[in-house]
Chains A and B, each alone.
Chain A
Amino acid sequence: MKTTSSLLENAPVLLRDWATAFLPARARWFADSLIDIVAILAVFGLLFAFLTLAERKILGRVQNRPGPNRAGWFGLLQPFADGIKMLTKEDVVPAAADQVLHFLAPVVLLAFSILTFAVIPYGRNLVPLDLDAAVVFFFAASSSTELAVFMAGWASHNKYSLFAAMRALAQLVSYELPLLLSVVPVALATGTLSTTGIVAAQAGWKWGLVPRWLVFTPWGAAAFAVFMVSALAESNRSPFDLPEAESELIAGHLTEYSGFKYALFFMAEYFGMCALSGMAVTLFLGGWQAPLPALEFIPSYAWFAVKLLALLSGFIWIRATLPRLRIDQLTRLAWKLLVPLALVNLVTAGFWELSAGWQGAHQPLRWAVAIVLVAGPALLLGRSLGSGIGPRTYRYA
Protein backbone atom coordinates (compact mmCIF):
# COMPACT_ATOMS: atom_id res chain seq x y z
CA MET A 1 0.00 0.00 0.00
CA LYS A 2 1.93 3.01 -1.18
CA THR A 3 1.37 5.96 1.04
CA THR A 4 -0.19 8.67 -1.03
CA SER A 5 1.67 11.85 -0.47
CA SER A 6 -0.95 14.13 -2.00
CA LEU A 7 -1.36 17.45 -0.15
CA LEU A 8 -5.07 16.94 0.44
CA GLU A 9 -4.41 13.64 2.14
CA ASN A 10 -2.08 15.04 4.76
CA ALA A 11 -3.78 18.43 5.07
CA PRO A 12 -5.39 17.96 8.51
CA VAL A 13 -2.14 16.61 10.09
CA LEU A 14 -0.02 19.36 8.55
CA LEU A 15 -2.49 21.96 9.77
CA ARG A 16 -2.38 20.62 13.29
CA ASP A 17 1.41 20.37 13.39
CA TRP A 18 1.70 23.87 12.12
CA ALA A 19 -0.59 25.07 14.92
CA THR A 20 1.34 23.40 17.74
CA ALA A 21 4.83 23.86 16.29
CA PHE A 22 5.67 26.77 18.50
CA LEU A 23 4.84 24.98 21.76
CA PRO A 24 7.53 23.18 23.85
CA ALA A 25 7.69 19.40 23.34
CA ARG A 26 6.05 18.53 26.60
CA ALA A 27 3.01 20.69 26.00
CA ARG A 28 2.81 19.74 22.30
CA TRP A 29 1.12 16.36 23.10
CA PHE A 30 -1.36 18.22 25.28
CA ALA A 31 -2.09 20.82 22.60
CA ASP A 32 -2.39 18.25 19.86
CA SER A 33 -4.94 16.25 21.80
CA LEU A 34 -6.80 19.47 22.67
CA ILE A 35 -7.05 20.28 18.96
CA ASP A 36 -8.22 16.77 18.24
CA ILE A 37 -11.00 17.05 20.83
CA VAL A 38 -12.16 20.40 19.51
CA ALA A 39 -12.11 19.07 15.95
CA ILE A 40 -14.15 15.98 16.87
CA LEU A 41 -16.71 18.01 18.83
CA ALA A 42 -17.08 20.52 16.04
CA VAL A 43 -17.43 17.96 13.26
CA PHE A 44 -19.78 15.63 15.12
CA GLY A 45 -21.72 18.52 16.67
CA LEU A 46 -22.51 19.83 13.20
CA LEU A 47 -23.18 16.29 11.99
CA PHE A 48 -25.64 15.84 14.90
CA ALA A 49 -27.41 19.04 14.00
CA PHE A 50 -27.80 18.28 10.34
CA LEU A 51 -28.54 14.65 11.10
CA THR A 52 -31.73 15.63 12.98
CA LEU A 53 -32.73 17.74 10.01
CA ALA A 54 -31.82 15.04 7.51
CA GLU A 55 -33.81 12.53 9.51
CA ARG A 56 -36.95 14.62 9.55
CA LYS A 57 -36.44 15.45 5.84
CA ILE A 58 -36.02 11.82 4.83
CA LEU A 59 -38.96 10.69 7.03
CA GLY A 60 -41.02 13.36 5.33
CA ARG A 61 -39.99 12.30 1.85
CA VAL A 62 -40.72 8.68 2.75
CA GLN A 63 -44.15 9.65 4.02
CA ASN A 64 -44.62 11.73 0.87
CA ARG A 65 -44.46 15.09 2.65
CA PRO A 66 -41.72 17.77 2.29
CA GLY A 67 -40.43 17.79 5.91
CA PRO A 68 -39.10 20.99 7.61
CA ASN A 69 -38.41 23.64 4.90
CA ARG A 70 -39.46 26.85 6.58
CA ALA A 71 -36.34 27.80 8.67
CA GLY A 72 -33.80 29.00 6.10
CA TRP A 73 -33.38 27.61 2.55
CA PHE A 74 -34.98 24.22 2.41
CA GLY A 75 -35.11 24.07 6.25
CA LEU A 76 -31.31 24.17 6.61
CA LEU A 77 -31.49 26.39 9.68
CA GLN A 78 -34.03 24.10 11.39
CA PRO A 79 -31.46 22.48 13.73
CA PHE A 80 -30.24 25.79 14.96
CA ALA A 81 -33.83 26.79 15.59
CA ASP A 82 -34.33 23.61 17.62
CA GLY A 83 -31.14 24.33 19.52
CA ILE A 84 -32.23 27.78 20.47
CA LYS A 85 -35.65 26.46 21.47
CA MET A 86 -34.07 23.84 23.74
CA LEU A 87 -31.83 26.42 25.42
CA THR A 88 -34.65 28.82 26.09
CA LYS A 89 -37.03 26.20 27.47
CA GLU A 90 -37.43 26.11 31.29
CA ASP A 91 -35.56 23.22 32.93
CA VAL A 92 -38.23 21.68 35.20
CA VAL A 93 -36.92 19.29 37.89
CA PRO A 94 -39.47 17.25 39.94
CA ALA A 95 -39.50 18.20 43.65
CA ALA A 96 -39.12 14.70 45.07
CA ALA A 97 -36.49 13.82 42.47
CA ASP A 98 -32.99 12.89 43.61
CA GLN A 99 -31.41 16.19 42.64
CA VAL A 100 -27.86 14.89 42.36
CA LEU A 101 -28.63 11.86 40.24
CA HIS A 102 -31.13 13.82 38.15
CA PHE A 103 -28.43 16.24 37.14
CA LEU A 104 -25.67 13.69 36.83
CA ALA A 105 -27.52 11.32 34.45
CA PRO A 106 -27.21 13.33 31.18
CA VAL A 107 -23.65 14.39 32.04
CA VAL A 108 -22.44 10.80 32.56
CA LEU A 109 -24.29 9.62 29.47
CA LEU A 110 -22.76 12.29 27.22
CA ALA A 111 -19.29 11.88 28.77
CA PHE A 112 -19.09 8.16 28.00
CA SER A 113 -20.64 8.57 24.51
CA ILE A 114 -18.04 11.12 23.51
CA LEU A 115 -15.30 8.97 25.08
CA THR A 116 -16.04 6.33 22.41
CA PHE A 117 -14.93 8.71 19.58
CA ALA A 118 -11.34 8.61 20.83
CA VAL A 119 -10.38 5.36 19.16
CA ILE A 120 -12.10 5.54 15.71
CA PRO A 121 -9.53 6.08 12.86
CA TYR A 122 -11.01 8.80 10.61
CA GLY A 123 -8.18 8.90 8.13
CA ARG A 124 -4.88 7.33 7.20
CA ASN A 125 -3.15 8.80 10.27
CA LEU A 126 -6.12 10.68 11.68
CA VAL A 127 -6.75 8.59 14.83
CA PRO A 128 -7.01 10.57 18.12
CA LEU A 129 -5.85 7.71 20.38
CA ASP A 130 -4.06 4.67 18.91
CA LEU A 131 -4.56 2.10 21.73
CA ASP A 132 -3.46 -1.53 21.56
CA ALA A 133 -6.85 -2.69 22.97
CA ALA A 134 -8.89 0.05 21.25
CA VAL A 135 -11.95 -2.12 20.55
CA VAL A 136 -12.22 -3.14 24.26
CA PHE A 137 -11.91 0.57 25.23
CA PHE A 138 -14.75 1.40 22.82
CA PHE A 139 -17.09 -1.24 24.24
CA ALA A 140 -16.12 -0.47 27.84
CA ALA A 141 -17.17 3.13 27.28
CA SER A 142 -20.34 2.29 25.39
CA SER A 143 -21.47 -0.26 28.03
CA SER A 144 -21.02 2.27 30.85
CA THR A 145 -23.79 4.44 29.37
CA GLU A 146 -26.33 1.97 30.84
CA LEU A 147 -25.55 3.30 34.36
CA ALA A 148 -26.61 6.75 33.22
CA VAL A 149 -29.89 5.41 31.82
CA PHE A 150 -30.63 3.79 35.19
CA MET A 151 -29.73 7.00 37.04
CA ALA A 152 -32.09 8.96 34.81
CA GLY A 153 -34.90 6.48 35.28
CA TRP A 154 -34.47 6.25 39.08
CA ALA A 155 -33.74 9.87 39.84
CA SER A 156 -36.95 11.25 38.27
CA HIS A 157 -38.94 9.61 41.09
CA ASN A 158 -41.64 8.61 38.62
CA LYS A 159 -43.09 5.09 38.37
CA TYR A 160 -43.30 5.23 34.57
CA SER A 161 -39.77 6.51 34.08
CA LEU A 162 -38.36 3.81 36.44
CA PHE A 163 -40.40 1.23 34.55
CA ALA A 164 -39.13 2.47 31.19
CA ALA A 165 -35.54 2.62 32.50
CA MET A 166 -35.78 -1.05 33.45
CA ARG A 167 -37.04 -1.90 29.94
CA ALA A 168 -34.27 0.16 28.32
CA LEU A 169 -31.69 -1.56 30.54
CA ALA A 170 -33.06 -5.00 29.63
CA GLN A 171 -32.79 -4.08 25.95
CA LEU A 172 -29.28 -2.57 26.27
CA VAL A 173 -27.96 -5.50 28.28
CA SER A 174 -29.52 -8.05 25.92
CA TYR A 175 -27.99 -6.45 22.82
CA GLU A 176 -24.59 -5.77 24.32
CA LEU A 177 -23.81 -9.50 24.10
CA PRO A 178 -24.41 -9.99 20.33
CA LEU A 179 -22.61 -6.67 19.70
CA LEU A 180 -19.42 -7.88 21.43
CA LEU A 181 -19.68 -11.43 20.06
CA SER A 182 -19.96 -10.20 16.46
CA VAL A 183 -16.75 -8.20 16.91
CA VAL A 184 -14.75 -11.21 18.15
CA PRO A 185 -14.47 -12.83 14.61
CA VAL A 186 -12.99 -9.56 13.36
CA ALA A 187 -10.26 -9.74 16.01
CA LEU A 188 -9.81 -13.43 15.08
CA ALA A 189 -9.37 -12.56 11.36
CA THR A 190 -7.17 -9.48 11.73
CA GLY A 191 -5.25 -10.76 14.74
CA THR A 192 -5.31 -7.46 16.62
CA LEU A 193 -7.69 -5.38 18.71
CA SER A 194 -6.32 -1.98 17.69
CA THR A 195 -8.61 -0.23 15.24
CA THR A 196 -5.75 1.11 13.04
CA GLY A 197 -4.44 -2.48 12.83
CA ILE A 198 -7.85 -3.73 11.74
CA VAL A 199 -8.15 -1.10 9.02
CA ALA A 200 -4.58 -1.80 7.84
CA ALA A 201 -5.48 -5.52 7.61
CA GLN A 202 -8.34 -4.65 5.23
CA ALA A 203 -6.06 -2.84 2.75
CA GLY A 204 -5.45 -4.08 -0.80
CA TRP A 205 -7.72 -5.48 -3.42
CA LYS A 206 -8.41 -9.06 -4.58
CA TRP A 207 -8.05 -9.52 -8.39
CA GLY A 208 -7.51 -5.75 -8.47
CA LEU A 209 -11.24 -5.18 -8.23
CA VAL A 210 -12.85 -6.43 -4.98
CA PRO A 211 -11.42 -4.67 -1.86
CA ARG A 212 -10.34 -6.98 1.01
CA TRP A 213 -12.96 -5.53 3.35
CA LEU A 214 -14.19 -8.07 5.90
CA VAL A 215 -17.82 -7.48 4.89
CA PHE A 216 -17.14 -9.34 1.63
CA THR A 217 -16.30 -12.59 3.44
CA PRO A 218 -19.34 -14.81 4.24
CA TRP A 219 -18.81 -14.64 8.00
CA GLY A 220 -18.04 -10.92 7.66
CA ALA A 221 -21.43 -10.22 6.10
CA ALA A 222 -23.21 -12.18 8.87
CA ALA A 223 -21.19 -10.43 11.58
CA PHE A 224 -21.89 -7.04 9.95
CA ALA A 225 -25.64 -7.78 9.93
CA VAL A 226 -25.65 -8.85 13.60
CA PHE A 227 -23.50 -5.82 14.49
CA MET A 228 -25.83 -3.40 12.72
CA VAL A 229 -28.99 -4.86 14.32
CA SER A 230 -27.34 -4.74 17.77
CA ALA A 231 -26.07 -1.23 17.07
CA LEU A 232 -29.67 -0.20 16.28
CA ALA A 233 -30.79 -1.64 19.62
CA GLU A 234 -27.82 -0.16 21.55
CA SER A 235 -28.65 3.34 20.33
CA ASN A 236 -32.41 2.87 21.01
CA ARG A 237 -33.17 3.53 17.35
CA SER A 238 -36.11 2.64 15.12
CA PRO A 239 -37.56 -0.80 15.63
CA PHE A 240 -35.99 -0.84 19.11
CA ASP A 241 -36.93 2.69 20.23
CA LEU A 242 -39.32 1.35 22.86
CA PRO A 243 -37.84 3.38 25.82
CA GLU A 244 -38.64 6.81 24.41
CA ALA A 245 -41.45 5.80 22.15
CA GLU A 246 -44.12 8.51 22.23
CA SER A 247 -47.02 6.06 22.04
CA GLU A 248 -45.69 3.99 24.91
CA LEU A 249 -44.49 5.49 28.17
CA ILE A 250 -44.54 9.17 27.09
CA ALA A 251 -40.77 9.75 26.75
CA GLY A 252 -39.70 6.75 28.80
CA HIS A 253 -36.96 7.58 31.31
CA LEU A 254 -36.71 11.09 29.83
CA THR A 255 -40.21 12.20 30.86
CA GLU A 256 -38.98 14.34 33.79
CA TYR A 257 -36.35 16.04 31.65
CA SER A 258 -36.89 19.21 29.71
CA GLY A 259 -34.95 21.99 28.15
CA PHE A 260 -31.23 21.58 27.76
CA LYS A 261 -30.91 18.28 29.68
CA TYR A 262 -33.42 16.74 27.25
CA ALA A 263 -31.32 18.11 24.33
CA LEU A 264 -28.22 16.60 25.94
CA PHE A 265 -29.92 13.18 26.04
CA PHE A 266 -30.73 13.49 22.32
CA MET A 267 -27.20 14.57 21.50
CA ALA A 268 -25.83 11.61 23.47
CA GLU A 269 -28.13 9.29 21.51
CA TYR A 270 -27.00 10.59 18.15
CA PHE A 271 -23.34 10.53 19.23
CA GLY A 272 -23.84 6.88 20.24
CA MET A 273 -25.31 6.19 16.81
CA CYS A 274 -22.43 7.90 15.01
CA ALA A 275 -19.81 6.16 17.17
CA LEU A 276 -21.36 2.73 16.55
CA SER A 277 -21.59 3.33 12.77
CA GLY A 278 -18.01 4.63 12.82
CA MET A 279 -16.90 1.42 14.54
CA ALA A 280 -18.97 -0.62 12.03
CA VAL A 281 -17.17 1.16 9.18
CA THR A 282 -13.80 0.52 10.81
CA LEU A 283 -14.42 -3.13 11.55
CA PHE A 284 -16.28 -4.26 8.44
CA LEU A 285 -16.14 -1.67 5.64
CA GLY A 286 -12.39 -1.15 5.68
CA GLY A 287 -12.34 2.19 7.59
CA TRP A 288 -10.76 4.81 5.32
CA GLN A 289 -9.70 2.31 2.57
CA ALA A 290 -10.72 3.27 -0.97
CA PRO A 291 -13.02 0.76 -2.71
CA LEU A 292 -10.99 0.76 -5.97
CA PRO A 293 -7.26 1.29 -6.57
CA ALA A 294 -8.13 3.90 -9.16
CA LEU A 295 -9.98 5.99 -6.60
CA GLU A 296 -7.04 6.15 -4.21
CA PHE A 297 -6.37 9.80 -5.06
CA ILE A 298 -9.43 10.82 -3.06
CA PRO A 299 -8.23 11.46 0.55
CA SER A 300 -8.87 8.67 3.11
CA TYR A 301 -11.01 10.74 5.51
CA ALA A 302 -13.41 11.42 2.61
CA TRP A 303 -13.95 7.71 2.12
CA PHE A 304 -14.60 7.34 5.88
CA ALA A 305 -17.18 10.18 5.73
CA VAL A 306 -18.94 8.65 2.70
CA LYS A 307 -19.27 5.27 4.37
CA LEU A 308 -20.38 6.85 7.69
CA LEU A 309 -23.10 8.88 5.96
CA ALA A 310 -24.22 5.81 4.05
CA LEU A 311 -24.68 3.85 7.29
CA LEU A 312 -26.44 6.78 9.02
CA SER A 313 -28.85 7.13 6.12
CA GLY A 314 -29.40 3.37 6.50
CA PHE A 315 -30.36 3.95 10.16
CA ILE A 316 -32.80 6.67 9.21
CA TRP A 317 -34.25 4.65 6.37
CA ILE A 318 -34.87 1.70 8.72
CA ARG A 319 -36.52 4.07 11.20
CA ALA A 320 -38.83 5.22 8.45
CA THR A 321 -39.95 1.78 7.40
CA LEU A 322 -39.89 -0.85 10.20
CA PRO A 323 -42.66 -0.97 12.93
CA ARG A 324 -41.72 -0.96 16.63
CA LEU A 325 -40.98 -4.31 18.39
CA ARG A 326 -42.64 -5.33 21.67
CA ILE A 327 -40.26 -5.81 24.65
CA ASP A 328 -40.59 -9.63 24.73
CA GLN A 329 -40.18 -9.94 20.93
CA LEU A 330 -37.16 -7.68 21.23
CA THR A 331 -35.40 -9.71 23.91
CA ARG A 332 -36.39 -12.99 22.25
CA LEU A 333 -34.80 -11.72 18.98
CA ALA A 334 -31.60 -10.96 20.90
CA TRP A 335 -31.32 -14.15 22.92
CA LYS A 336 -32.78 -16.69 20.48
CA LEU A 337 -31.44 -15.38 17.19
CA LEU A 338 -28.58 -12.93 17.44
CA VAL A 339 -26.54 -14.55 20.21
CA PRO A 340 -26.61 -18.06 18.68
CA LEU A 341 -25.88 -16.60 15.21
CA ALA A 342 -22.90 -14.68 16.59
CA LEU A 343 -21.58 -17.85 18.26
CA VAL A 344 -21.96 -19.88 15.06
CA ASN A 345 -20.27 -17.04 13.22
CA LEU A 346 -17.26 -17.58 15.43
CA VAL A 347 -17.08 -21.15 14.11
CA THR A 348 -17.45 -20.02 10.51
CA ALA A 349 -14.69 -17.43 10.94
CA GLY A 350 -12.46 -20.10 12.46
CA PHE A 351 -13.17 -22.40 9.49
CA TRP A 352 -12.52 -19.52 7.08
CA GLU A 353 -9.15 -18.71 8.63
CA LEU A 354 -8.07 -22.37 8.80
CA SER A 355 -9.05 -23.00 5.18
CA ALA A 356 -7.29 -19.86 3.92
CA GLY A 357 -4.66 -22.01 2.21
CA TRP A 358 -7.12 -23.96 -0.02
CA GLN A 359 -6.26 -23.62 -3.73
CA GLY A 360 -7.97 -24.39 -7.06
CA ALA A 361 -11.00 -26.69 -6.78
CA HIS A 362 -11.13 -26.16 -3.03
CA GLN A 363 -11.93 -22.42 -3.32
CA PRO A 364 -15.61 -22.78 -4.33
CA LEU A 365 -15.94 -25.67 -1.80
CA ARG A 366 -14.61 -23.31 0.91
CA TRP A 367 -17.11 -20.63 -0.06
CA ALA A 368 -19.96 -23.15 -0.23
CA VAL A 369 -19.24 -24.59 3.22
CA ALA A 370 -18.89 -21.10 4.71
CA ILE A 371 -22.18 -19.94 3.17
CA VAL A 372 -23.97 -23.05 4.40
CA LEU A 373 -22.52 -22.50 7.91
CA VAL A 374 -23.82 -18.92 7.84
CA ALA A 375 -27.21 -19.40 6.15
CA GLY A 376 -28.14 -22.69 7.84
CA PRO A 377 -28.43 -21.56 11.48
CA ALA A 378 -29.96 -18.24 10.38
CA LEU A 379 -32.82 -20.02 8.59
CA LEU A 380 -33.28 -22.69 11.25
CA LEU A 381 -33.33 -20.24 14.17
CA GLY A 382 -35.31 -17.63 12.29
CA ARG A 383 -38.26 -20.00 11.82
CA SER A 384 -39.42 -20.04 15.42
CA LEU A 385 -39.12 -16.29 16.10
CA GLY A 386 -42.53 -15.23 14.93
CA SER A 387 -44.34 -18.11 16.64
CA GLY A 388 -44.49 -16.48 20.10
CA ILE A 389 -47.50 -14.24 19.40
CA GLY A 390 -49.25 -15.52 22.52
CA PRO A 391 -49.98 -13.47 25.72
CA ARG A 392 -46.97 -11.96 27.54
CA THR A 393 -46.00 -13.36 30.94
CA TYR A 394 -44.38 -11.03 33.48
CA ARG A 395 -42.32 -12.27 36.39
CA TYR A 396 -41.91 -10.52 39.69
CA ALA A 397 -38.87 -11.03 41.99
Chain B
Amino acid sequence: MSPLHLCLAFSSLLFAVGLTGALSRGSSILVLLGLELMLNAANLNFIAFWRFGPAGSPATGVVFVLFSIAVAAAEAAVGLALIISLYRNQRNIRLPEATRLKG
Protein backbone atom coordinates (compact mmCIF):
# COMPACT_ATOMS: atom_id res chain seq x y z
CA MET B 1 0.00 0.00 0.00
CA SER B 2 1.87 3.12 -1.14
CA PRO B 3 1.70 6.21 1.10
CA LEU B 4 -0.53 7.83 -1.55
CA HIS B 5 -3.15 5.12 -1.16
CA LEU B 6 -2.94 5.48 2.61
CA CYS B 7 -3.45 9.22 2.42
CA LEU B 8 -6.39 8.81 0.05
CA ALA B 9 -7.93 6.23 2.36
CA PHE B 10 -7.43 8.55 5.32
CA SER B 11 -9.12 11.44 3.50
CA SER B 12 -12.03 9.30 2.28
CA LEU B 13 -12.64 8.09 5.84
CA LEU B 14 -12.48 11.66 7.12
CA PHE B 15 -14.94 12.62 4.39
CA ALA B 16 -17.29 9.82 5.38
CA VAL B 17 -17.10 10.84 9.05
CA GLY B 18 -17.90 14.40 8.12
CA LEU B 19 -20.86 13.30 5.99
CA THR B 20 -22.27 11.08 8.69
CA GLY B 21 -21.93 13.82 11.25
CA ALA B 22 -23.68 16.30 8.98
CA LEU B 23 -26.49 13.85 8.30
CA SER B 24 -27.07 12.55 11.82
CA ARG B 25 -26.77 15.53 14.15
CA GLY B 26 -29.73 17.88 14.69
CA SER B 27 -27.91 20.95 15.78
CA SER B 28 -27.14 23.05 12.70
CA ILE B 29 -23.75 24.08 14.14
CA LEU B 30 -22.61 20.47 14.10
CA VAL B 31 -23.92 20.07 10.58
CA LEU B 32 -21.77 23.05 9.64
CA LEU B 33 -18.75 21.52 11.36
CA GLY B 34 -19.36 18.25 9.53
CA LEU B 35 -19.21 20.28 6.36
CA GLU B 36 -15.88 21.78 7.48
CA LEU B 37 -14.56 18.27 7.99
CA MET B 38 -15.54 17.30 4.46
CA LEU B 39 -13.71 20.37 3.15
CA ASN B 40 -10.62 19.40 5.12
CA ALA B 41 -10.78 15.92 3.63
CA ALA B 42 -10.69 17.47 0.18
CA ASN B 43 -7.64 19.57 1.15
CA LEU B 44 -5.97 16.39 2.35
CA ASN B 45 -6.31 14.94 -1.11
CA PHE B 46 -4.69 18.00 -2.68
CA ILE B 47 -1.65 17.86 -0.46
CA ALA B 48 -1.44 14.05 -0.83
CA PHE B 49 -1.33 14.32 -4.62
CA TRP B 50 1.08 17.23 -4.41
CA ARG B 51 3.43 15.24 -2.17
CA PHE B 52 3.11 11.81 -3.79
CA GLY B 53 1.86 12.76 -7.23
CA PRO B 54 3.92 12.67 -10.42
CA ALA B 55 7.43 14.02 -9.74
CA GLY B 56 8.15 17.73 -10.03
CA SER B 57 4.52 18.69 -9.93
CA PRO B 58 4.28 22.43 -9.51
CA ALA B 59 2.91 23.91 -6.29
CA THR B 60 -0.58 24.37 -7.70
CA GLY B 61 -1.88 21.83 -5.20
CA VAL B 62 -0.53 23.88 -2.30
CA VAL B 63 -1.87 27.13 -3.77
CA PHE B 64 -5.24 25.51 -4.25
CA VAL B 65 -5.34 24.36 -0.60
CA LEU B 66 -4.59 27.94 0.49
CA PHE B 67 -7.50 29.18 -1.61
CA SER B 68 -9.81 26.42 -0.30
CA ILE B 69 -8.87 27.26 3.32
CA ALA B 70 -9.78 30.90 2.64
CA VAL B 71 -13.09 29.90 1.06
CA ALA B 72 -13.83 27.54 3.97
CA ALA B 73 -13.22 30.42 6.41
CA ALA B 74 -15.60 32.69 4.48
CA GLU B 75 -18.16 29.87 4.28
CA ALA B 76 -17.92 29.23 8.04
CA ALA B 77 -18.44 32.92 8.80
CA VAL B 78 -21.50 33.23 6.55
CA GLY B 79 -22.84 29.86 7.75
CA LEU B 80 -22.67 30.93 11.38
CA ALA B 81 -24.28 34.28 10.59
CA LEU B 82 -27.10 32.32 8.96
CA ILE B 83 -27.38 30.12 12.04
CA ILE B 84 -27.60 33.19 14.28
CA SER B 85 -30.38 34.73 12.15
CA LEU B 86 -32.06 31.27 12.04
CA TYR B 87 -31.88 31.22 15.83
CA ARG B 88 -33.35 34.73 15.93
CA ASN B 89 -36.28 33.66 13.77
CA GLN B 90 -36.88 30.23 15.20
CA ARG B 91 -35.72 30.51 18.83
CA ASN B 92 -33.68 27.30 18.41
CA ILE B 93 -31.15 25.99 15.94
CA ARG B 94 -32.56 22.52 15.31
CA LEU B 95 -32.14 22.03 11.58
CA PRO B 96 -34.96 19.49 11.02
CA GLU B 97 -37.44 22.08 12.27
CA ALA B 98 -36.20 24.80 9.92
CA THR B 99 -38.41 23.82 6.98
CA ARG B 100 -40.15 27.09 6.12
CA LEU B 101 -38.35 27.37 2.78
CA LYS B 102 -40.20 24.69 0.84
CA GLY B 103 -42.29 24.19 -2.37
Contact with B along A364-397 (1 / 0, CB 8 A): 0000000000000000000000000000000001
* Closest chain B CB from A271 CB (angstroms): 28
Answer yes or no: B67 CB below 8 A from chain A CBs: no
Instruction: Specify which chain A residues have a CB less than 8 angstroms from the CB of B32 in the assembled complex.
Output: none
* Closest chain A CB from B44 CB (angstroms): 19
- When chains A and B are docked, how far (Å) is the Cα of A397 from the Cα of B87? 9
Instruction: Specify which chain A residues have a CB less than 8 angstroms from the CB of B84 in the assembled complex.
Output: 397
- When chains A and B are docked, how far (Å) is the Cα of A157 from the Cα of B28? 25
Interface size on A, residues (CB 8 A): 1
Answer yes or no: B88 CB below 8 A from chain A CBs: yes
Instruction: Specify which chain A residues have a CB less than 8 angstroms from the CB of B87 in the assembled complex.
Output: 397
Instruction: Specify which chain B residues have a CB less than 8 angstroms from the CB of A397 in the assembled complex.
Output: 84, 87-88
CB-nearest residue of chain B relative to A396?
B88
* Closest chain A CB from B49 CB (angstroms): 21
Interface size on B, residues (CB 8 A): 3
Contact with A along B80-103 (1 / 0, CB 8 A): 000010011000000000000000
- When chains A and B are docked, how far (Å) is the Cα of A397 from the Cα of B81? 10
Instruction: Specify which chain A residues have a CB less than 8 angstroms from the CB of B88 in the assembled complex.
Output: 397
Tell me the A84-108 residues at the B interface (CB within 8 Å): none
Tell me the B49-103 residues at the A interface (CB within 8 Å): 84, 87-88
* Closest chain B CB from A389 CB (angstroms): 30
- When chains A and B are docked, how far (Å) is the Cα of A397 from the Cα of B90? 13
- When chains A and B are docked, how far (Å) is the Cα of A397 from the Cα of B93? 13
- When chains A and B are docked, how far (Å) is the Cα of A397 from the Cα of B92? 12
CB-nearest residue of chain A relative to B87?
A397
CB-nearest residue of chain A relative to B84?
A397
- When chains A and B are docked, how far (Å) is the Cα of A397 from the Cα of B86? 11
CB-nearest residue of chain B relative to A397?
B84
- When chains A and B are docked, how far (Å) is the Cα of A397 from the Cα of B89? 11
- When chains A and B are docked, how far (Å) is the Cα of A397 from the Cα of B91? 11
Contact with B along A131-161 (1 / 0, CB 8 A): 0000000000000000000000000000000
- When chains A and B are docked, how far (Å) is the Cα of A397 from the Cα of B80? 12
- When chains A and B are docked, how far (Å) is the Cα of A397 from the Cα of B88? 8
* Closest chain A CB from B29 CB (angstroms): 13
- When chains A and B are docked, how far (Å) is the Cα of A347 from the Cα of B84? 36
- When chains A and B are docked, how far (Å) is the Cα of A145 from the Cα of B19? 30
* Closest chain A CB from B92 CB (angstroms): 12
CB-nearest residue of chain A relative to B88?
A397
* Closest chain A CB from B33 CB (angstroms): 15
* Closest chain A CB from B69 CB (angstroms): 12
- When chains A and B are docked, how far (Å) is the Cα of A177 from the Cα of B52? 35
* Closest chain A CB from B85 CB (angstroms): 10
- When chains A and B are docked, how far (Å) is the Cα of A397 from the Cα of B83? 11
* Closest chain B CB from A216 CB (angstroms): 34
- When chains A and B are docked, how far (Å) is the Cα of A91 from the Cα of B81? 40
- When chains A and B are docked, how far (Å) is the Cα of A56 from the Cα of B88? 49
- When chains A and B are docked, how far (Å) is the Cα of A69 from the Cα of B60? 62
* Closest chain A CB from B68 CB (angstroms): 17
Tell me the A161-175 residues at the B interface (CB within 8 Å): none
Q: What are 3 contact pairs spanning A and B, CB under 8 A?
A: A397-B84, A397-B87, A397-B88
Q: Which 3 pairs of residues, A with B, have the shortest CB-CB distance?
A: A397-B84, A397-B87, A397-B88
